[in-house]
Amino acid sequence: MILIISEKPKAAKKIADAIGNMRTVKSGDSYYYEVDGGSIVVAPAVGHLYGLVPGKEGWDYPIFNAVWKPTYRNKGFEYAKSYVQNLKELGKQADEIIVATDYDIEGAVIGYNIIKLAVGKTDLKRIKRMKFSTLTPQELLRSFKQAHLHNPFEIGMANAGLLRHYMDWFWGINLSRALTQSYKTTGSFKVLSTGRVQGPTLKILVEREKEIQKFDSKFFYKLFANIDKFQADGPEVEDVKKALEVFLSLKSPAKVVDVIKTQKTIKPPPPFNLTDLQIESNRVLKYTPKKTLELAQKLYEDGLISYPRTSSQKLPKELDTKPILEKLSKVYPFALKLIGKKYTEGDKTDPAHPAIYPTGQLPRDRDPAEMKVFDLIARRFMASFSTIAKRESTKIILDISGTTFTMIGRKTITKGFTAIYPAGLEEKEVPPVKKGDGLIVRDFELRREQKRPPKRYTAAGLLKTMDKLNLGTKATRANIIQTLYDRGYIEGKSIRVLSLGIGVIDSLEVAAPDIVSVELTRKFESKMEEVHEGKQDMQTVLEESKSELLDLLRKFKLAEKSVGASLKLSVSTTGSTTTTTSSKPKAIPGGKYMGDCACGAKIYALKSRNDKKYARCSGCDKTWGLPQRGTMKILKDKCSKCKIKLVEITRKDAKFKLCVEHGFS
């Protein structure tokens, strides 16, 4: 009997159905599938059936005693026991075993652990492997017929996967225990965590957060000229007096000094790899990387797309795209025009899987979120067969009373692939003018603005940075980011690091900086790749990793109490920043009401202790500067762009109105 081991029940059923006449067999609380009268049996796992656990009890560290334990012994995973029992019994009867788990590092670990711990065999060289990138009947049948004994690449895949599990477990449990124990020295208790990749990833976010905190958000004044429905940008001036002088000197018309047009072509994008998909899904659909991977996994399991956990931007050379495009044309009629065209491939490759592509099977009656991800994948695939897009940029330079203003327009003049794929290109119109034209200026504006600090990371931006720095893998990065949210280290779509997250990194850097070293993490990522390629021995790299970790833990132990005190302060600070929406902001004594802030609370005009005028929101505490010279009067009229009352300033030499948020008009 031939035993085929699959990763999940849905995949097992598809494999069995593809290779012959299938019969479902119920065994305990699970199922397996007999093919051709039982000469072939396809038995599924349910993902990882074994996980690493401490080999001894207690909270001491360092600990390197790790054993593989069946997941069914964990609460909530009891259902997995029946799958393990099936594989044990069927493994005893099998004359030949074929591993048909996902063709990646995690799939290799799942397969190896079943072979070793359930079936009782350890030599992968005597075990066959199926390789496939889609769960379509034709590819599964081909993969079964071409099943082969594990080659060095596949053995390396399993070794690299096991190495990753051990390293992540050693670093995660020891560093998390070290943090928790240090906090315990303060007389309190709180479970804290970090890890081999989690720590450096959080450090990246903390460094950006500190950049933002240190940023000097200086005020400046910016001039604008409104010409018909268009707006021209003028200079930025730091000094208010000089800005007012320029503002008051401006008079219509605006003379067109020059019109500069430039064109550029944009190549069609390659098909998605996982990182590209997660980034674009976040941009277009606003889905988190974790959600995108979950949705893509469902599409793969149902045979709608190829395997999503890939780094490649290239399609298989043997892939016949004509039938795929023909099937897609039932939903996307333009697909027929792409048949026979050459696609645009990217530079990135993956020895295990090609780029993500639709199989041609069309989704029906699916979850709307899954449909949106499928549509994005299908459109990206089809866009790669399309033509270049052409863009034109127009810069109009104006002279107004001796001051230079500019207008910049952008438009797509040849849509090309952008007619298929949501490329997110900005379209900005400018008036059709030529050099020497005179334009009537409707009015001028002088706005008080602030220099903006560096932008916070989004999940997609962080994912891109992790990919660039080689932190984690395409399959693990989304979960690492989600863990940072779950631990209370970060919050928001525009990621803000909370006091606890900053405290964890600051404490670790004081005790042993290499714990959060991006370089050290990258070093071991490279070594794991070398194990995969057969260039490094798994055990040698694991021992080197343990040695590095032991050295870091010794340093940490020396600073345990100071780290604990720092962490406790961070925890208390994080707790104090929690706000509630139930308490209403109160009026500020002595302040004059100026209107409503964007947060919904009231704004008041105030004076500081040194008699400086300013405005402050009673809710979010946002502040605005007010002109210090002249008599100020708060008018009943409100700004046309917000709910804040206009202020009238009267001086000997001038009289003008302004909005504290949007400046002069």
For residue 552, the number of C-alpha atoms closer than 13 Å in the C-beta half-sphere is 25
Edge-to-edge strand ranges of the sheet holding 602-607: 592-596, 602-607, 613-617, 623-625
Q: Rounded to an integer, what distance in angstroms lies between the CA atom of residue 615 and that of residue 619?
A: 12
* CB-count burial class (<10 Å; 0-12, 13-18, 19+) for 443: exposed
* CB-count burial class (<10 Å; 0-12, 13-18, 19+) for 611: exposed
Q: Which amino acid is at 406?
A: T
| Dihedral sign for Cα atoms in the order 292, 293, 295, 296 | positive
CB-CB contact of 447 with 466 (8 Å): no
- Which is nearest to 424 in space by CA: 557, 208, 578, 269? 269
Q: How far is CA 226 from CA 233, 249, 436, in A?
A: 9, 16, 19
How many Cβ atoms sit within 10 Å of the Cβ of residue 594? 26
Active site residue 307: yes
Identified catalytic residue from 103, 221, 307, 457:
307
Pair of tokens at residue 355: 């780029």
How many Cβ atoms sit within 10 Å of the Cβ of residue 579? 9
Ramachandran class of 544: left when φ > 0, alpha when ψ lies in -120 to 50, beta otherwise: alpha
φ, ψ at 273 (rounded to 5°)? -105, 180
Q: What is the DSSP string of 254-322?
A: EEEEEEEEEEEEEPPPPPP-HHHHHHHHHHHH---HHHHHHHHHHHHHTTSB--S--------TT--HH
3-state secondary structure of 374: helix
How many Cβ atoms sit within 10 Å of the Cβ of residue 454? 10
DSSP annotation of 358: B
> If you search the block for the tokens 């048949």, which residue do you land on?
339
Tell me which residues are annotated as active site: 307
